[in-house]
Structure 1
C-alpha cells in the first residue's frame, strides 16, 4: 500500500521566486526490499512512457541497496486535491501497463509506504538562486526526521527558526536546507530536514566551515540544537543520493 513522506527549510529574505518551486507539498514514497536493477528498469520505463507529456515529475533517491524513495512535488495551492489528482493520474497510467510493465512493477520492490509532507519555507535555508538544477547538482542529501512530542511543536519550530537566524547573521552562504512537517501517512507530529550537498565529502567540508564560522555564537547555536533534540521523542538520521538518471525533470 502506498505511503507519503518528505522534508526542507527557507527564510523570509529569500521567499520570492524560489518558494514557488520549493514550498510545494510532497508525496514521499519509501520502497523497501528493492531489487535495484529491476527498480532502475521500471523507472527508466516510466520515463520513456511519459517522455514529451505533461505527466507529473518526480525525484528518485537511493538510501541502501534495498531502500529507495520517490519524491513528488505538488503545488501547495492545490492542497490535498492536488495530491489526489497525482495519485489518480498514476492509477490511470497503471491501467495502461502492458503485462511486462506490470511484471516490473510487481518485482521491483517488496513493499511501499506512502506519506504526505507539507513544506515549511519560512524555516528553510536556501540560496537566492535556488532552482531545480541546484538539487540535480547537489545529489547528496543528509536527512534528519524529528518525531516531536505533541506539546513541543512550537518550541521545535522556534528553535529551528532561531538557528537559521543565527546562521544568517553570520552570512553563511554554503547551506542548502529544506524542511517539511509530516501530514497524512506520517506518525505526526514529525518534521523532516534535508541538507543538500554535491557529495558526502562536500557536506563534511561545508559543516566544518560553518562550525568554524559559528565560534562567536556557538553557545547559543548549540542551545537551539539542544532545544530541538529535547522537543523530540527520537530522531532518525540517514543519507539519500539523488538518481538523476531515474528522475523525471521539473520535480524534486
Structure 2
C-alpha cells in the first residue's frame, strides 16, 4: 500500500510537471486547476497567492512536493512524516474544492453543486489507507487495520451508491444498487463473503481505471486515475488476508 501511494504521488506530480512544460496546454491547465470547476477555490487562492507568489509557482510547488513525497515513500525514508503530510494534503484538497450548495441561487458559471466531502469520496478512502499505514507503524491490532481498510473501500462505494447521479459524485461507472451490494459484501462478517467483496471491489476499480484511461485526453487528468491505486491496493490486501 505504501508503494501505491508513492506511485500516486510521483505519477500525479510528474504529469503536472509535463503538462506545465507544454505551452499549448497552459490555458487549459490553469482553467482545470483554478477555474470554477477546478481544484482550488477563491478562498485558498487569496490565502496562498500573496507576495508575488503566482498561480504557476503554486503548481510547481505542488508538483515537486508530490514527486518528493512519493520518492521518499518509495525508498522508505521519513515515512511517518510523509504520511502525515499526505494526510494533511488530502484534507486541504477536500477543503479547497470550489462548491456552491446555496439553494435558490442561479449561477452564471459551472461549478460543483455537491458537497466537497461527497465529490472527494475517493480522497477520503485514500486518507483512510494512509491512516492504516500509520497504525501499522504503531503496531495496531490487525483487526483494527482490517476494519479501516474496509472503511476505506466502503465509504466511496456507499457515497457513490446513495448519491448516485448527483453532480460530480463518483459512481465508478457502475449502477447504484451494485455499489451498495458490493459494500454490503465487504461488511459481511463471514470471511469468504468478505473476500468475495474485496475481489469484486478490485474488479470495479480496475474497470473504472480502464474507463478513465480510454476517455482521458489531457495528461494532468492522470491524477484522477492514480488516485484509485491506494484503494486497489487496499482491496488486494483484503482479498489475500481475509479470514487469516
Query: What is the TM-score with the length of structure 2 in the denominator?
Result: 0.24
More helix by share: 2
Higher relative contact order (CA 8 A, sep 6+): 1
TM-score (norm 1): 0.23
